[in-house]
Homo-oligomer: A and B are copies of this chain.
Amino acid sequence: MSKVVSLSEAMASIEDGSHVGLTGFAITRNAVAAALELTRAKRRHLRLTQVIVGLETDLLVGAGCVDRLVYSGGSLDRFGLVHAVNRAIATGTLQIEEYSTLALTLRLAAGSLGLPFVPTRSMLGSSLLDNLRAAGEIVEQTDPFTGSPVLVMSPVRPDVAIVHADTCDEEGNATIAGPRWSLRETALAAARVIVTTERVVLRGTIPPERVVVPGTVVSAVTEVPRGASPTALPGHYDYDRAWLEAHVEATKEGGERFRRYLEGMLEARAVHP
């Protein structure tokens, strides 16, 4: 059963207020085309969960689509900070819940596996833990087997996750080259997954060992060549240095300058459905 739809159709299934899991990492494999389509549709009050944020989240936050961000940090590597995210936090327009990379990935893995909770030894003694106590997603316990202090965290289950894949068959079985960071845990934790991909292929052409996101959890597939640009897609294209530098400048200044930059991006990447 083919799940192939247009990008706008796929993104229209995400409602205002949805909890969205994103799966890019800093300057690589960001679902930029999908994020731009959400800003174009003026989606509002999103809650994002993403282990390491990068360009896609900085765009969505800068465009005012996001109320709350659950994350563990991030940047555009040496290109610069995620200024739109950082400014929104500093000025109080974005609520955040902040973890370590492992802790948030474990919460997503728990969501993926249906575990009622998951323990970790990370974050003990840190300001992260101090701030998280109020959010109600963490309980401090004693390990019943060793008696050591341990944190117990609730699972995360986004309404939908967005993945930009190298190839994907029409039923949603998707391949991912390079390291996979928390992509798989985020996808499988979500109630459903939207895949944008460089290329849609026929079922049966992907060796089953290579599939990273099983089509069983995918609700929509959209072919978007260069859908991760200006971030890098290993094996397909490099990051676009000039574009990333322009992003950092525009977000650093913010305001009108960012709006002009975003409009330019939306024009340059107009959707042809």
Contact = CB atoms under 8 A, between A and B. Distances in A.
Q: Give the number of copies in the complex.
A: 2
A91 B179 CA distance: 49
A209 interface: yes
Contacts of A148: 116
A139 B146 CA distance: 12
Nearest to A146: B116
A116 B145 contact: yes
A210 interface: yes
Contact of A210 (B117, B152, B209): B209
Closest 8 CB pairs of A and B: A116-B143, A139-B144, A145-B154, A116-B150, A116-B119, A115-B119, A117-B119, A117-B145
A211 to B, nearest CB: 11
Interface in A225-257: none
Which range contains the number of A residues in contact with the other chain?
A: 20 to 34
A177 interface: yes
B144 A141 contact: yes
A114 interface: yes
A251 to B, nearest CB: 33
Nearest to A155: B145
Interface in A105-152: 106, 113-121, 139, 141, 143-146, 148, 150, 152
Contacts of A145: 116-117, 139, 154
